[in-house]
Amino acid sequence: MPKTKPLVVVTRKLPEPIETRMMELFDVRLNLADEGFTRERMIEAVRIADVLVPTVTDRIDKRILDEAGDRFKLIANYGTGVDHIDLKAARERGVTVTNTPDVLTEDTAEMTMALILAVPRRLTEGERIVRDGRWRGWSPTWMLGHRVSGKRLGILGMGRIGQAVARRARAFDMAIHYHNRRRVHPSIEAELEVTYHESLDQMLSRMDIISVHCPHTPATYHLLSERRLKLLSPNAYIVNTARGEIIDEKALVRMLRNREIAGAALDVYENEPAINPKLLQLDNVVVLPHMASSTIEGRTAMGESVLVNIKTFVDGHQPPNRVLPESIGY
C-alpha cells in the first residue's frame, strides 16, 4: 500500500458518521447520490482505487477483477454475505476480501422472530384489511391463525444468526431443531436445547416452521428445491432472511398458491430487487424489502467494522475479518 492516504472508493451512501471518519483517515470517493454502480463505473473504480467498499447490491466477478489496477489490493465489503464477490478470482489476483460478521446477528435474528410470528398469526393480512376499510368487527371464528408456542422450528444453518434465532425461539416455548453442514459443539446444543438432524430431508418433513440462515454458495443454490419443498407439511411455514437464491422461488410460489405450504415470510428474493409478481398476489405471504439488518445501530457498526478492516490492512497487518473461499459454508 502507498505511504500516502489510500484511495478508497465507496459504492453506496453510508451512515454519516462513517463517511466523516473515512474522510479523516483516507482519500475517499463517496457515492453521495446513493445510486448503484453500473458495471462500467465499477471497472473504473477498481482501476484507480487501492480499496473498494462494496455492498450486497454490487456484483464483483472475475471480469471486473481482471480490469483492476496494480494498486488495487482490498475489497472491504460492507456486509456479512460475500456471495456477490468472486473470492477465488480475488485471491488469484492477490486481492484481500473482508466482511463485517457479528454486527448484524441480533438485528437479523430479531426480524426473523418477527416474521416467525407474523405469518402464522396473519399479522400483515389483518393490517391490510384494516387499512382497506374491510374490517366489520370482531368475530370468534374470523382471521384465525396458529400459535407458535409448542411448534417445531427447523433452523437451516446454525451459525451466529441461527443460534441467535434459537435463543429467541426458546422464549416462545418452541421445540428447536437444526440442520448444518457441521454439527455444532455439544455445549451449544445443550445451551440452546436444540436437536440436530444430519438429514435435511428428514428435518423438513417434521417441522412446522423452517427458518433459513445459511449463506448463498454454489452448494446452497436452490438447497430448498422443489423436491425438498414437497417434503414440507401443508401446514408448514417458511421464513427466509438469508438469501433468496437458497429457495427455488418458482416452485415456492406454485406451492403457496396451491396451499401445499401454509405460508411464507420473505425478506430476500431470488432476483431482487425484482420480486415475482405472483408472490405479491398471495395473502399467505409476508414480503419485506431486504430490511432484516436495517437498524441505525447495525449499519453504523458495519461501517466501524469496515474502517477497522481497512486501517489494519493499510498499516500492514492481517485484517480481523478476512474472508477466504474455503471458509464459506453453513
pLDDT at 6: 96
- All structural domains of the chain: 7-103+295-324 (3.40.50.720), 105-287 (3.40.50.720)
Mean pLDDT of 183-204: 98
Instruction: For cell 464459506, name the residue.
Output: 328
Task: Let me know: does 107 contact 298? Beta carbons within 8 Å.
Answer: yes
Query: Tens of pLDDT along 271-283?
Result: 999 999 999 999 9
Q: Catalytic: 290?
A: yes
Catalytic residue (one of 47, 146, 290, 322):
290
Q: Identify the burial level of 38 via C-beta atoms within 10 angstroms of its C-beta, where 0-12 means exposed, 13-18 middle and 19 or more buried.
A: exposed
Catalytic residue (one of 189, 260, 272, 304):
272
Query: Tens of pLDDT along 101-142?
Result: 989 999 999 999 999 999 999 999 999 999 999 999 999 999
Mean pLDDT of 217-228: 96
The C-alpha cell that represents 308 in the structure block: 477497522
Q: What band does 3 get if pLDDT is binned at 50, 70 and 90? A: low
Q: Catalytic: 326?
A: no
CA dist., res. 198 & res. 178, Å (int): 9
Catalytic residue (one of 110, 243, 245, 249):
243
Q: Catalytic: 121?
A: no
